[in-house]
């Protein structure tokens, strides 16, 4: 008996008429309940309770309770996940904390060349700030395992490649990292809500991710951070903000980190975004990740087979083996930007990732087989008839 009712989950989202949304890997759509939940938080809580909302409406406790609901989706133990800030900030915080815990003398932060630039920028910025002779070493994704040597302090990877969907084996690489004495920071931006993740089973040290992609909490929704229980009370949060202090309202001059995951909080949580996240997680609370994953694979396979059978000039730029992929599919085309604009013009929303990728998020909570088939038909029409070949489709916008 399946535990997830995908007809019900689809009804929980607002999708504009005529749109086939294949970009939930970049910004999830609006959960129907989120608009009212945010409005209620504005009028009933902020409007009526004013500052007493921090206590009366539970605003202060929200980052941890929301964190635990995300934790269930990524195999994190209760009490080890908290939300706040943006993902870039949480990458910095996790990496800084991991470096402090690393064996003295180790100087290498190991990552891969497919990592999302912001993660690499944050690592470089951190190295510039702390000085010392740290080095950010990036190798090809397939060479990561071999590059894990006893010089490595921290292995910092995004599990699922934002462009191609290629997926790292978290359990295997974490075990290898630990075997050479390194810590791990896993970025789950394209994993949380996309694939089954078992942080506890993989024995991962630190993990971070965002809530506006597959988790559907809206633009600018807060990120999350998970710290393994063995480090929860000894990790130094690096960004030592007052809400991570042991006693924020004692207003002490000296920083004392709070207990456990609380110390990874920094400043005031975004309560209106938390309301949207709460509504989004109401859907996830009723979903089984193994079933989401099975359906994601089935829809992705259907999409790839359809495109390869009917569309000329595109080549798959994602692993062919579904076990090696996340929940997104990329195809290359020399005019990918214009092709994507033509698709969007016809109601099929994916995105373009430089230099030549058409990227499609496959999100089972609100996509059907019929959506996939119609998207294939529209893409085939655009390619067969060169409908992309118009100046208007070649003007690059700020966000692609
Ligand atoms: C989406 C994404 C980010 C974005 O970071 P923000 O600070 O939320 O803008 C960072 N890293 C990865 C791997 C991502 O996929």
Q: What is the pLDDT of residue 260?
A: 97
Closest residue to atom 4 of ligand 1, CA basis:
87
Q: What is the pLDDT of residue 399?
A: 87
Averaged pLDDT, groups of 10, the chain, 400 residues long: 94 97 98 98 98 97 98 98 98 98 96 97 97 95 98 98 97 98 98 98 98 98 98 96 97 97 98 98 98 98 98 95 98 97 98 96 98 98 97 91
Decide whether any atom of ligand 1 lies within 6 Å of the 86 Cβ: yes
d(CA 234, CA 217): 31
pLDDT in tens, 300-315: 999 999 999 999 899 9
Report the CATH architecture of 6-30+288-394: Alpha-Beta Complex (3.90)
Choosing from 37, 90, 166, 213, which is the catalytic residue?
A: 213
Dihedral (CA of 172, 173, 177, 182) sign:
negative
Ligand 1 centroid, distance to 107 Cα (angstroms):
25
Q: What is the pLDDT of residue 150?
A: 97
Rg of the chain's alpha carbons, rounded to an integer?
Answer: 22
40 contact partners, CB below 8 Å, separation of at least 6: 275
Closest residue to atom 13 of ligand 1, CA basis:
116
d(CA 40, CA 149): 53
Q: What is the pLDDT of residue 13?
A: 98
Return the domain boundaries, the chain: 6-30+288-394, 35-284
316 contact partners, CB below 8 Å, separation of at least 6: 304, 307, 308, 329, 330, 331, 332
This prediction's pTM: 0.97
Choosing from 85, 119, 161, 187, which is the catalytic residue?
A: 187
Ligand 1 centroid, distance to 210 Cα (angstroms):
7
Nearest to 375 by CA among 19, 9, 28: 19
Q: How many CB atoms lie within 10 A of CB 111?
A: 26
Q: What is the pLDDT of residue 400?
A: 85
Q: What is the pLDDT of residue 247?
A: 97
Q: What is the pLDDT of residue 330?
A: 98
- CATH number assigned to the domain covering 35-284: 3.40.640.10
């Amino acid at each position: 008996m399946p535990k997830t009712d995908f007809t019900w989950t689809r009804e929980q989202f607002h999708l504009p008429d005529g749109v086939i949304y294949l970009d939930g890997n970049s910004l999830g759509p609006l959960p129907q309940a989120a608009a009212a939940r945010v409005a209620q938080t504005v009028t009933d809580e902020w409007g009526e309770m004013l500052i007493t909302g921090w206590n009366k409406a539970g605003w202060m406790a929200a980052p941890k309770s929301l964190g635990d609901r995300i934790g269930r989706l990524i195999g994190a133990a209760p009490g080890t996940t908290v939300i706040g800030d943006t993902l870039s900030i949480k990458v910095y915080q996790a990496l800084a904390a991991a470096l402090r815990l690393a064996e003295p003398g180790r100087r290498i932060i190991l990552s891969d060349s497919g990592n999302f630039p912001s993660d690499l920028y944050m690592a470089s910025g951190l190295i510039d700030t702390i000085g010392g002779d740290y080095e950010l070493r990036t190798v090809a994704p397939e060479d990561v395992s071999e590059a894990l040597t006893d010089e490595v302090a921290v292995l910092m990877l995004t599990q699922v490649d934002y462009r191609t969907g290629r997926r790292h084996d978290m359990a295997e690489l974490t075990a290898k990292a630990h075997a050479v004495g390194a810590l791990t920071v896993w970025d789950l931006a394209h994993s949380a809500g996309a694939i089954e993740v078992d942080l506890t089973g993989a024995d991962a040290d630190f993990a971070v991710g965002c809530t506006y992609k597959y988790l559907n909490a809206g633009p600018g929704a807060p990120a999350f951070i998970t710290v393994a229980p063995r480090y929860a009370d000894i990790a130094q949060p690096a960004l030592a903000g007052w809400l991570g202090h042991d006693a924020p309202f004692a207003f002490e001059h000296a920083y004392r980190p709070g207990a456990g995951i609380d110390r990874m909080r920094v400043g005031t949580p975004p309560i209106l975004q938390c309301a949207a996240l709460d509504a989004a997680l109401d859907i996830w609370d009723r979903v089984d990740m193994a079933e989401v994953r099975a359906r994601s694979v089935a829809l992705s396979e259907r999409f790839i087979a359809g495109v390869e059978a009917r569309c000329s000039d595109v080549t798959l730029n994602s692993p062919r083996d579904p076990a090696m992929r996340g929940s997104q599919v990329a195809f290359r085309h020399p005019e990918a930007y214009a092709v994507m604009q033509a698709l969007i013009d016809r109601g099929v929303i994916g995105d373009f990732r430089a230099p030549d990728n058409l990227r499609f998020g496959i999100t089972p909570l609100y996509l059907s087989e019929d959506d996939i088939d119609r998207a294939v038909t529209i893409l085939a029409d655009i390619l067969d008839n060169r409908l992309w070949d118009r100046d208007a489709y070649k003007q690059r916008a700020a966000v692609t």
